[in-house]
């Protein structure tokens, strides 16, 4: 016997289907139930449109927030940088190597300056450091002569030199002692971090790093080092700070971070404390130290191969040599002339005739002009606020950083950290995206993007100001940072936080680094797969809601194939309901006859109609 059920209940719960005219009439004849000729999946057009709009809005959001920034950064890196340094500089140097006799040191430095005007990035290369050292030595020699004559000027007759002359002379001597010899815009402090501040607990392959970073009796310049009268008086030591995890927490809690925290919220409570991984905190804290304290940050797997003082001097005093040799190239000759006149006056114990406000050839007026120009140079903004090293295979590394006190660049980095961490927060929920999350929220890729944005701002400002750069970021060439005999640093085993996906990404990128089209193909493939996955997930969602992505219409009606599909879907749902009610068997019998004599034939019609529907479904 067939199970009894409510005919009215089944009839009222049938879905509203729209089928072609021929199929509609046969459906009425076989079942006796009138089915509406409207599409159930399209009757709620607004609801379906919202889902489609949401899908495309989600795709655009993903592209705008995640895909475009990464592709833009990769393109910027590929266009500007080679494996070792700035591509423009490297190409020019390779041309010079073919005929080295035609190019002197100044020509190579001019290449660096030309690249800076085009890209906004200054490369600290071995040639640039050599030229800077030579230029600074020439300046120091002139000021040293002034220093040697200081006592004779002080002891001279009051009538020989006026009080204004003596004051200007003392200003130059102070500049010599406090700026040219012992400039401290970059504090001589080394920052490193470990879980404890006890050096003895460091792994054996890291123990050499703290010891070798503690430089003693450092002399700033080779000219000073070779001068017996200066070397003993101008030696200094580097200080060293090994920050523990507790020290990091305390430092952030005790500092005022309103300048880098939106809405004056506590930087520690609302940002640093919420970072999910410890390596992210270590990345962010190094930027915080350099944005306030300044100095040098080094990972424990890096130790110095030689004294880094030339790099720090380059960073501090490049704007001085630039002022003497580029902006005010006449100043050196003017100082030489003044020194000759001063020596002659001291020997003859008489001053060159001059009166106040007149006689531009007099000693006093010459010294006044020299003092004014020198003060303008040394008081101008420092040329660099940070130094970051070029790394292989991509962008810049954050394992060795240098910043001036209150570095403008690292303040910018500290502010950007909050936004980028929020942008890539979704990666923290993906188990195999740990490496990407670290790289993009505080690691090298994050730092590289900060350099890109900051450099673009500084380049625009310089173009409006006659290409006078200030507080920019300098690129430490890989030749001075990588593993070679000319490098200032030695790298030991590190990357202790790397996981399996990190090794896969790094190895893959290195293999693709030599081929631009392979990298582009990889990004297109990944992007295409991502888009297909999104479309698949969206179609699944629409199907679950009973709204297929594409509706098959025929003259405003749904095809018989679609009608059969909807009928079979309805039958399946009714079977599930009957199973839950613990019915022994499932069957749908629709009684539409007006007398008992026609009931058997009606049941046969229903069976035939249902069989035809199932056959269409299978086809």
Residue 539 lies in a domain: no
- Confidence label for 45 from pLDDT (cuts 50, 70 and 90): low
- Confidence label for 161 from pLDDT (cuts 50, 70 and 90): confident
pLDDT tens sequence across 393-448: 678 999 999 999 999 999 999 999 988 988 888 888 877 778 788 888 999 999 99
Residue 590 lies in a domain: yes
Residue 520 lies in a domain: no
- Confidence label for 192 from pLDDT (cuts 50, 70 and 90): very high
Q: Which of 60-74, 416-430, 469-483, 544-558 has the lowest mean pLDDT?
A: 544-558
pLDDT tens sequence across 600-610: 444 445 444 44
* Predicted local distance difference test score (pLDDT) of residue 553: 47
Residues 439 and 329 grouped into a single domain: yes
Residue 456 above 90 pLDDT? yes
Residue 100 above 70 pLDDT? no
Pairwise pLDDT comparison (311 vs 599), residue with the higher score:
311
Residues 28 and 114 grouped into a single domain: no
* Predicted local distance difference test score (pLDDT) of residue 44: 54
Q: What angle do CA 316, 317, 321 make, to 5 degrees?
A: 160
* Predicted local distance difference test score (pLDDT) of residue 593: 44
Residue 180 lies in a domain: yes
Residues 25 and 102 grouped into a single domain: no
* Predicted local distance difference test score (pLDDT) of residue 436: 81
Residues 131 and 30 grouped into a single domain: no
Residues 92 and 24 grouped into a single domain: no
Residue 549 lies in a domain: no
Backbone angles phi, psi at 119, to 5 degrees: -115, -20
Domain of 577, in residue numbers: 7-42+563-618
Average pLDDT value for the chain: 76
Residues 582 and 483 grouped into a single domain: no
- Confidence label for 596 from pLDDT (cuts 50, 70 and 90): very low
Q: Show the tokens assigned to 587.
A: 């069957």
Residue 340 lies in a domain: yes
Q: Using an 8 Å Cβ cutoff, are 325 and 127 in contact?
A: no
Other CB atoms within 10 Å distance of the CB of residue 209: 22
Residue 477 above 70 pLDDT? yes
Q: Using an 8 Å Cβ cutoff, are 502 and 436 in contact?
A: no
Residues 86 and 25 grouped into a single domain: no
- Confidence label for 587 from pLDDT (cuts 50, 70 and 90): very low
Cα separations in angstroms, 594 against 7, 296, 600, 607: 14, 97, 12, 19
Residue 1 lies in a domain: no
pLDDT tens sequence across 322-360: 999 988 889 999 999 999 988 888 887 654 444 444 433
Cα separations in angstroms, 538 against 58, 300, 548: 10, 48, 10
pLDDT tens sequence across 504-549: 666 666 665 555 566 666 667 766 777 777 677 777 766 666 655 5
Residues 271 and 333 grouped into a single domain: yes
Residues 461 and 567 grouped into a single domain: no
Domain boundary among 479, 494, 514: 514
Residues 30 and 90 grouped into a single domain: no
* Predicted local distance difference test score (pLDDT) of residue 320: 94
Q: Which of 223-237, 277-291, 448-462, 466-480 has the lowest mean pLDDT?
A: 223-237
What gap in Å lies between CA 384 and CA 120, rounded to an integer? 12
Alpha helices in 66-120 (DSSP H): 68-80, 87-98, 105-119
Q: Which of 60-64, 470-474, 556-560 has the lowest mean pLDDT?
A: 556-560
- Confidence label for 138 from pLDDT (cuts 50, 70 and 90): very high
Residues 574 and 451 grouped into a single domain: no
Burial class (CB in 10 A: 0-12, 13-18, 19+), 327: middle
* Predicted local distance difference test score (pLDDT) of residue 506: 60
Number of structural domains (the chain) is 2
Q: Show the tokens assigned to 413.
A: 């980095």
Pairwise pLDDT comparison (59 vs 167), residue with the higher score:
167
Residues 378 and 472 grouped into a single domain: yes
* Predicted local distance difference test score (pLDDT) of residue 3: 47
Q: Among 200-214, 346-360, 582-596, name the most confident range.
A: 200-214
Residue 311 lies in a domain: yes
DSSP letters for 163-185: HHHHHHHHHHHHHIIIIIIT--S
């Amino acid at each position: 016997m067939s199970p009894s059920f409510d005919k009215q209940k089944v009839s009222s719960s049938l879905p509203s289907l729209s089928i072609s005219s021929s199929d509609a009439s046969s459906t009425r004849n076989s079942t006796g139930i009138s089915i509406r000729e409207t599409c159930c999946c399209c009757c709620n057009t607004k609801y379906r449109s919202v889902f489609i709009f949401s899908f495309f809005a989600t795709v655009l959001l993903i592209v705008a927030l995640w895909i475009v920034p990464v592709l833009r950064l990769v393109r910027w890196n590929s266009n500007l940088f080679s494996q070792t340094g700035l591509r423009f500089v490297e190409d020019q140097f390779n041309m010079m190597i073919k005929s080295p006799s035609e190019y002197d040191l100044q020509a190579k430095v001019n290449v660096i300056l030309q690249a800076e005007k085009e890209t906004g990035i200054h490369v600290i290369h071995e040639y640039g450091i050599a030229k800077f050292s030579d230029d600074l030595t020439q300046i120091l020699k002139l000021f040293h002569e002034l220093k040697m004559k200081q006592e004779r000027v002080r002891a001279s007759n009051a009538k020989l030199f006026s009080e204004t002359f003596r004051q200007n002379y003392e200003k130059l001597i102070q500049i010599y002692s406090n700026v040219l010899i012992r400039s401290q815009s970059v504090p001589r402090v080394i920052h490193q971090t470990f879980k404890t501040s006890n050096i003895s607990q460091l792994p054996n392959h890291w123990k050499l790093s703290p010891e070798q970073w503690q430089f003693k009796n450092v002399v700033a310049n080779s000219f000073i080092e070779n001068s017996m009268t200066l070397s003993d008086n101008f030696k200094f030591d580097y200080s060293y700070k090994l920050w523990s995890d507790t020290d990091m927490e305390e430092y952030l809690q005790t500092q005022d971070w309103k300048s880098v925290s939106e809405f004056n919220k506590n930087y520690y409570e609302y940002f640093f404390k919420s970072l999910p991984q410890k390596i992210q905190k270590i990345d962010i804290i190094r930027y915080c130290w350099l944005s306030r304290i300044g100095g040098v940050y080094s990972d424990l797997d890096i130790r110095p191969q030689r004294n880094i003082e030339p790099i720090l001097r380059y960073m501090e005093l490049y704007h001085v040599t630039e002022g003497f040799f580029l902006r005010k190239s006449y100043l050196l000759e003017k100082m030489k002339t003044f020194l000759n006149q001063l020596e002659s006056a001291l020997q003859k114990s008489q001053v060159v005739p001059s009166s106040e406000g007149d006689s531009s050839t007099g000693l006093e007026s010459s010294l006044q002009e020299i003092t004014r120009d020198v003060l303008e140079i040394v008081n101008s903004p420092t040329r660099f606020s940070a130094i970051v090293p070029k790394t292989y295979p991509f962008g810049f590394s954050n394992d060795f950083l240098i910043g001036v006190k209150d570095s403008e660049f690292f303040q910018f980095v500290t502010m950007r950290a909050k936004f980028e961490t929020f942008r890539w927060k979704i990666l923290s929920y993906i188990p195999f995206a740990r490496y990407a999350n670290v790289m993009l929220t505080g690691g090298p890729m994050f730092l590289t993007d900060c350099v890109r944005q900051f450099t673009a701002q500084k380049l625009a400002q310089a173009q409006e100001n006659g290409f006078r750069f200030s507080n920019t970021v300098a690129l430490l060439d890989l030749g001075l940072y990588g593993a070679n005999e000319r490098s200032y640093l030695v790298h030991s085993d590190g990357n202790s936080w790397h996981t399996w996906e990190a090794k896969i990404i790094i190895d893959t990128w290195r293999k693709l680094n030599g081929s631009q089209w392979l990298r582009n193909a990889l990004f297109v493939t990944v992007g295409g797969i991502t888009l297909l996955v999104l479309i698949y997930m969206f179609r699944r969602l629409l199907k679950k809601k009973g709204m297929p992505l594409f509706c098959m219409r025929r003259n405003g009606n749904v095809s018989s194939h679609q009608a059969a599909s909807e009928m079979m879907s309805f039958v399946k749902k009714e079977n599930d309901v009957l199973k839950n009610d613990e019915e022994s068997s499932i069957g749908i019998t629709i009684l539409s006859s007006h007398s008992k004599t026609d009931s058997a034939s009606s049941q046969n019609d229903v069976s035939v109609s249902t069989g035809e529907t199932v056959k269409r479904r299978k086809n």
